[in-house]
């Protein structure tokens, strides 16, 4: 999970580089790559209040506190006292558990949930309210304003749902009690322990009380749902008030999303994806899908393997990936062809469903914007 940001090297991006230097500091973002988001359920929440267990006397947690304090130069007493107040949340463990049957993944159903009319209309209002900020972010970073709006809409319904869990509890639970039957339990536990460490450091550096900060079940925070290490690496002060506030400042959230995608290689003006049809008589699906969503074939190579590309895709100067979108049991999958920019969006949340849905949400919002008034 170490994604070194590929900062643009071309002198044409000097302004962008300077802008990125405003960023404070560290890694990956999003939550729902790990599992379906938990359903909001008051009954379950009250059960959890009973089932939650303190980490106060957990020797693993005490040892982690000692190491974190040593590595980060923090007060050992403060780190230990803070972690002692973390609670193990069963609901978070359930949310991080692998889906029982991955075969039921259904792109159309997922897409409908993200691109619902309420979210699209809220997106129109959001775009209108923050039009100049979005334009500035797009100009400085090259990142498409629609994709930024799509991400804010999918993550938090434009800041309306920033998560109900104490970030301390969520990260401690996932660091120390990640579902043991998950195939990637070791890597995920280590990842969330690093995020817990980043969260403590961030709390200390920003003066926020780690006991009151709330976020998603995965510990993602604020309007843009940044993980603590991402906040430190990629978040920017985009409204110029001298502090980075992804909870209260939409400008900071917009600028930080743009900065994040730019750091992960967004190329200005490049489409994110193209439509595609497969010539089933000769399509070499294993070859077409070999590298999954990583763009690794020229348009000509894709054509030779039986992917029928539209003219715009054939003229695309970069590499492409065939992105398979399962449509549930018994149905044929759908496909699109992703570019480097599609892959970049998946660095925000490691899921092709996520990436395509935020891109399409942004496009739907943009299509619904009223036409600009022309002067009389």
Question: Segment contacting Ca ion (CB under 5 A): 11-19, 147-155, 251-259, 341-349?
Answer: 251-259
Least gap, CB of 253 to Ca ion (angstroms): 10
239 binds Ca ion (CB under 5 A): yes
Of 169 and 252, CB closest to Ca ion = 252
Residue 139 appears among annotated catalytic residues: no
Residue 144 binds to Ca ion (criterion: CB under 5 A): no
Of the two residues 242 and 330, which places its CB atom closer to Ca ion in the complex?
242
Nearer to Ca ion, 197 or 237 (CB): 237
Q: Is residue 252 involved in binding Ca ion (CB under 5 A)?
A: yes
Annotate 159-193 with b (16+ C-beta within 10 A) or e (fewer): beebbebbbbbbbbbbbbbbbeebeeeeebbebbb
Residue 66 beta carbon to Ca ion: minimum distance, rounded to whole angstroms: 34
What's 371's DSSP letter? P
Q: What angle do CA 364, 253, 157 make, to 5 degrees?
A: 45
Using alpha carbons, select from 289, 295, 149 the residue that is nearest to residue 224: 149
How remote is the C-alpha of 164 from its chain's centroid? Answer: 18
Q: Which window, 70-78, 145-153, 194-202, 232-240, contacts Ca ion (CB under 5 A)?
A: 232-240
For position 257 contacting Ca ion by CB under 5 A, the verdict is no
Catalytic residue among 155, 277, 290, 360: 155
Indicate whether 197 belongs to the interface with Ca ion (CB under 5 A): no
Is residue 237 involved in binding Ca ion (CB under 5 A)? yes
Judged by CB under 5 A, the stretch of 198-206, 229-237, 286-294, 349-357 that binds Ca ion is: 229-237
Across-strand partners of 277?
308
Which residues, other chains included, contact 248 with Cβ-Cβ below 8 Å and sequence gap of 6+?
A: none
Distance CA 311, CA 192 (A): 44
Which is closer to Ca ion, CB of 141 or CB of 249? 249
The encoded tokens of residue 159 equal 């800041």
Give, in order, the Cα–Cα distances in Å from 37 to each of 30, 76, 113, 129: 11, 34, 12, 28
Q: Which stretch binds Ca ion (CB under 5 A): 68-76, 123-131, 231-239, 308-316?
A: 231-239
Secondary structure class of 275 (helix, strand, coil): strand
- Give me the residues that bind Ca ion (CB under 5 A), please: 237, 239, 241, 249, 252
Q: Show which residues are catalytic.
A: 155
């Amino acid at each position: 999970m170490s994604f070194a940001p590929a900062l643009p090297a071309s002198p044409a991006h000097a302004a962008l580089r300077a802008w990125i230097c405003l960023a404070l500091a560290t890694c990956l973002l999003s939550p729902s790559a790990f599992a379906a988001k938990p359903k909001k359920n008051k009954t379950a929440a009250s059960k959890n209040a009973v089932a939650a267990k303190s980490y106060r006397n957990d020797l693993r947690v005490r040892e982690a506190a000692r190491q974190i304090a040593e590595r980060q130069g923090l007060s050992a007493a403060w780190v230990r006292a803070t972690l002692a107040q973390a609670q193990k949340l069963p609901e978070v463990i359930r949310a991080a558990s692998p889906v029982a049957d991955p075969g039921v993944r259904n792109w159309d159903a997922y897409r409908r949930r993200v691109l619902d009319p309420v979210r699209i209309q809220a997106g129109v209002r959001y775009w209108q309210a923050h039009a100049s900020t979005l334009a500035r972010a797009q100009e400085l970073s090259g990142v498409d304003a629609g994709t930024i709006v799509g991400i804010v809409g999918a993550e938090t319904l434009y800041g309306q749902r920033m998560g109900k869990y104490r970030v301390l509890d969520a990260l401690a639970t996932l660091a120390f009690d990640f579902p043991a039957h998950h195939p990637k339990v070791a890597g995920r536990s280590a990842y969330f322990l690093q995020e817990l460490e980043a969260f403590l450091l961030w709390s200390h550096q920003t003066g926020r009380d780690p006991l009151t900060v709330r976020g998603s079940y995965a510990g993602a925070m604020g309007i843009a749902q940044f993980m603590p290490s991402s906040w430190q690496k990629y978040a920017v002060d985009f409204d110029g008030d001298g502090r980075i506030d992804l909870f209260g400042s939409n400008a900071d959230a917009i600028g930080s999303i743009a900065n994040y995608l730019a750091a992960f290689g967004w190329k200005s003006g490049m489409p994110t994806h193209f439509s595609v049809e497969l010539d089933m008589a000769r399509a070499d699906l294993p070859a077409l899908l070999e590298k999954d969503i990583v763009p690794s074939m020229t348009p000509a190579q894709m054509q030779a393997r039986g992917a029928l590309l539209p003219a715009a895709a054939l003229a695309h100067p970069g590499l492409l990936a065939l992105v398979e979108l399962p449509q549930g049991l018994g149905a044929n999958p759908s496909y699109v062809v992703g570019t480097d920019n599609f892959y970049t969006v998946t660095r925000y949340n490691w899921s092709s469903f996520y990436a395509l849905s935020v891109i399409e949400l942004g496009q739907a919002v943009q299509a619904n914007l009223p036409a600009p008034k022309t002067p009389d």
